[in-house]
Structure 1
Amino acid sequence: MTKRAAGVLLPVTSLPSSYGVGTMGAAAREFVDFLAAADQAYWQMLPVGPTSYGDSPYQSFSSYAGNPYLIDLDDLAAEGLLDAEDYQGIAWGAEPGRVDYGRLYRERTGVLAQAVNRLLLSEQADDFALWCEAEASWLDDYALFMALKDRHEGRPWWEWPCEFQRRDPDALEAASEELACQVGFWKGVQFLFYSQWNDLRDYAHSRGIEIIGDMPIYVARDSADVWAHPQEFQLDETLTPTDVAGCPPDGFSATGQLWGNPLFDWDAMEENGYEWFVGRTAHMFRLFDVLRIDHFRGFDTYYAVPFGDDDACDGEWRQGPGMRLFHAIREQLGDQRIIAEDLGFLTDTVKQLLADSGYPGMKVLEFAFDSRDGGGRGYQPHNIPSHSVAYVGTHDNPTALGWFEEAELEDAAYAKAYLGLNEDEGYHWGMMRGIWASPADLAVVQAQDLLGLGSEGRMNVPSTLGGNWTWRLLPGQLDDELAAKVARCMDLYERAPLAVDEDADGERAVEDDLDAHGKVA
């Protein structure tokens, strides 16, 4: 990664639009423009796959497919694939600052079906056919999976008839013929997604912005991944998981976190050189410039919870693949830019795995002052190593101001004293200043913190259902004045992408943008 750079974390779904959810259209390009004006180098996103139960981007129907909700309808209209009346009269949600996933589920498919029908009759039809052929290794399974899911009223694949659960070749061939129109629709949706994604990525690159993606360590049980590749997972003879993923109880959750994802069969994967996992990783680098791999400690030892348990209390730690997996990734893909999400309880062996991998880890400023889980001086700015990525908080944490709403009084007082916070500057600006000024090569802040939002701006509360993943920007919130203020900070802390100006003595000339206490003016 670029030395001493900065970025902003913002899910695509959180962009403003008139159609219920953020997309890859004009608002995404405007956000890229904001990042460029603010002297940022990176846009960090959450996973962009199609969401399933709970609307979590970490529970997707596919590791390869893109989220249909992110397809911009105005851009489709500009291509002649939609008319304005096809979508502009639909009630997409009552709150412009929140995603209404229920409405998207009910309304989006019909609109996209019209676009796919026109695609098949357009000048792009030949390009679409060639693209389907090139992507067949994952696209065929995904499109048939979605068509069968539609046929069975959305039920998970393990509730389908046995011949479909077990992928009987004759049954799949018959279904592919019978459901050819539905299969074609789902392929068309993916073509539209990837066409717009490639355009957005190219636009970001033209403005000097690189994209940091996010790859969940696990995949959803109800996914084309598990359905098409059951041999890669810890399933019994009935295709039921023997154990599932989670995290043990800690200072934040007395019953731990029960994620419920099937666990990988690392032994089986090793026998074929981790082919499936490496292929999945390779696909991610077709999308993103840098990849954050979630739950890195799970590659050292992973927490296995007996299938059917109501919580994560009775799980156990088991040995993961360790460096064998990352050697395979490096041997097959070369040196790629990866960020290791190494948060949580870290043993000496996890720390050694991080060191051996050579990947930068993550440092979250809010953890530096949180006594509930022991706190951590290693997260304080003066202890952050340069080879790391610093955050005030991530999508799983409160916003900066939300943290002060929730923190113990002594923890908040500690943070104020350490960082020299005051209300005139704004606690959120002081928190961001803390990571921008740190030695970390890359510092990433949430868009919510740039806006000074409290708990109303939080993206996700782990181990809860309902109300998560819905926060959205309103039009005009990220304006030119804010971009200029952030750009001044980038100059002060030498994070601007442009070359640093030096005076005749070789010393960096710094404008008088700090007050007497070193705070952002």
Structure 2
Amino acid sequence: MLEKEIASSNWPFQHRRCSGLLLHPTSLPGELSAGDMGHNAYRFIEFLAASGIRIWQMLPLGPTHEDGSPYQCLSVHAGNPLLISLEWLVDRGWLHKPRYPAKANTHTSETYRLDCLRQARAGFEAATDTTTRQAYATFQAEHAHWLEDYALYIALRREQNQQAWWDWPAEERDRNPAALQKAKQRLSQDIAQVLFEQFVFFSQWHELKDYAHQHDVALFGDVPIFVAHDSAEVWAQREYFSVDAHGKAQTVAGVPPDYFSETGQYWGNPQYRWDRLQEDGFTWWIERLRTQLALFDLLRIDHFRGFEAFWEIPAGAETAIEGHWVKAPGEALLQTLHAAFQHLPLVAEDLGIITPEVEQLRQAFKLPGMKILQFAFDGNADNPYLPHNHQTHSVVYTGTHDNDTSLSWYHGLSLDERQRLRDYLGFDIEASMPWPLIRCALASVANMAILPMQDVLGLGEGNRMNLPGTIDNNWRWRFQWAQLPTTLAAQLRHLNVLYGRCEHAE
């Protein structure tokens, strides 16, 4: 039993219907191969406000590995320096106006952006005023519990040609104090560069967040439950993870076989040592959420069911079939988090294998779950994703970053499935998809409705953000402003007013 009743007021949209768009900042337009926190992010906020949309949902913001996945980050605290706006640095006099590469692919863009950041640090050190220097010192002090280890980890990783930390020389891999001290001296300039990049990232983000709030737009972030094996936290705090003294994983995360996969999914993230985390009062999780709650107004917990029980697979197993369920101290963790934070605005990603125990945990802490319309139309009237089965305290999506666009999804349906969808919606939808599904989401009783940007642009095949189980060509999708019809904001505002998700028309 819970020690205390959890107040619904922890959810900021309990009594307010609203809508949001799902768009990762890398998908914004821009001069290089990925979007950033520059003027296009501000323009997007203005578009949201004009559309009567009050939520900007995005994927995790952390620094990524070479595959670009925001769900396998190099740190659970740090921001991705590739999201830093170069024009912001120019405005402060730290960087000369950049001359962007004529043909910017992913590699040349990243190299160019990081080179500009090195130039900007030199400009920062040469021209920064006392107030900014004090802000820089304050930032380092406030984030010292993760920033120092992260900066050293990134500097060492660059020195080792981006090798995973368990392949580093033994003394640095195993954090020998004398070896780390030598590394700090040897890599002092590289460490200073990482510190500067993080200061700039957090400074830019908080300015963007303030601008969003001025336009009544809330920022909705994403917290992957598991941590990448090759990350600063597993290297520096391996006592909390299922790895041996030299960093080799012992048990890893995944999911068991299901309808979609006969062998399950082998994710490879090291499992938590929940007993050690609990012995320390879940301080690691408190610090992790404190960082994220400073960046965002609300957070999605990816794979929420892992708080109730997780699928533990022996490291080195051929498939996920060899795993088994292990209970997690989810109730104790969530009680601790509620005690630590005055407000804990979380959304539970409750997709996949959801048992009564998982549902009970979610409901006990009054966390809204997710309803995906693309999963709804299987012919079963009791399907929980059908709009007539939605609950007010939930978040409805046409699809997520892991789904195809709604138009491409529709084109992939059989004739019987298309007819079932038409019967449910009550009119011929062929010529107007995906707007009937968008209307269906906005009309839902769910207090929050989230639409992927691809859907409001009416995009079809070839525009999805991620195809689970694959590596190539994910996380690269972008839109261009020319794709937005001039009437789109007015159309969205009309629907938001019509379905009670916007207070008034403009």
* TM-score using structure 1 length: 0.91
Amino acid at match of 2:87: D
| d(CA) in 2 for partners of 1:128, 1:425 | 55
Amino acid at match of 1:441: N
Answering whether residue 137 of structure 2 is matched by residue 132 of structure 1, we say no
Contact 2:101 2:109 in 1 (8 A): no
Aligned to 1:492: 498
- 1:140-162 CA-to-partner distances (Å, cap 9, x unmatched) read 11110000001111111101111
Aligned to 1:504: none
> Within 5 A, what are the aligned runs for 1:382-397?
382-397=388-403
Tell me which of 440, 443, 446 is aligned to 1:440. 446
Contact 1:69 1:104 in 2 (8 A): no
Aligned to 2:426: 420
Amino acid at match of 1:108: R
3-state SS of 1:34 partner: helix
Aligned to 1:267: 275
Change (3 A) 1:216 1:68: same
| d(CA) in 2 for partners of 1:148, 1:234 | 23
> Within 5 A, what are the aligned runs for 1:96-111?
100=106, 102-111=107-116
| d(CA) in 2 for partners of 1:45, 1:244 | 26
Aligned to 1:404: 410
Answering whether residue 352 of structure 2 is matched by residue 344 of structure 1, we say yes
> Within 5 A, what are the aligned runs for 1:60-459?
60-84=73-97, 86-89=98-101, 91-93=103-105, 100=106, 102-123=107-128, 124-370=132-378, 377-420=383-426, 422-423=428-429, 426-459=432-465
Contact 2:36 2:83 in 1 (8 A): yes
| d(CA) in 1 for partners of 2:156, 2:481 | 39
Contact 1:248 1:303 in 2 (8 A): yes
> Any stretches of 5+ residues in structure 1 without a counterpart?
94-99, 502-521
Aligned to 1:515: none
| d(CA) in 2 for partners of 1:389, 1:292 | 10
Contact 2:166 2:246 in 1 (8 A): no
Structure 1 segments, 4+ long, off by >6 Å, are none
Change (3 A) 1:151 1:375: farther
Aligned to 2:55: 42
Answering whether residue 37 of structure 2 is matched by residue 32 of structure 1, we say no
Contact 1:391 1:443 in 2 (8 A): yes
- 1:264-283 CA-to-partner distances (Å, cap 9, x unmatched) read 11111111111101110111
3-state SS of 2:395 partner: strand
Q: How many residues align?
A: 490
Amino acid at match of 2:108: R
| d(CA) in 2 for partners of 1:141, 1:483 | 44
Change (3 A) 1:248 1:421: farther
- 1:275-325 CA-to-partner distances (Å, cap 9, x unmatched) read 101110111100000011100011111111221234322221111112111
Amino acid at match of 1:462: P
Amino acid at match of 2:85: D
How far off its partner does 1:236 sit?
2.4
- 1:42-65 CA-to-partner distances (Å, cap 9, x unmatched) read 000100110114210000000111
How far off its partner does 1:491 sit?
0.9
How far off its partner does 1:128 sit?
1.9
3-state SS of 1:293 partner: strand
Contact 1:87 1:111 in 2 (8 A): no
| d(CA) in 1 for partners of 2:146, 2:249 | 23
Q: Percent identity between the aligned chains?
A: 40
How far off its partner does 1:19 sit?
1.5
* TM-score using structure 2 length: 0.93
Change (3 A) 1:500 1:486: closer
Contact 2:494 2:505 in 1 (8 A): no
| d(CA) in 2 for partners of 1:369, 1:490 | 24
What's the Cα RMSD here?
1.8
| d(CA) in 1 for partners of 2:381, 2:475 | 27
3-state SS of 1:448 partner: helix
More displaced stretch, 130-139 vs 282-291: 130-139
Contact 1:363 1:388 in 2 (8 A): yes
Contact 1:420 1:430 in 2 (8 A): no
| d(CA) in 1 for partners of 2:246, 2:174 | 9
| d(CA) in 1 for partners of 2:408, 2:209 | 32
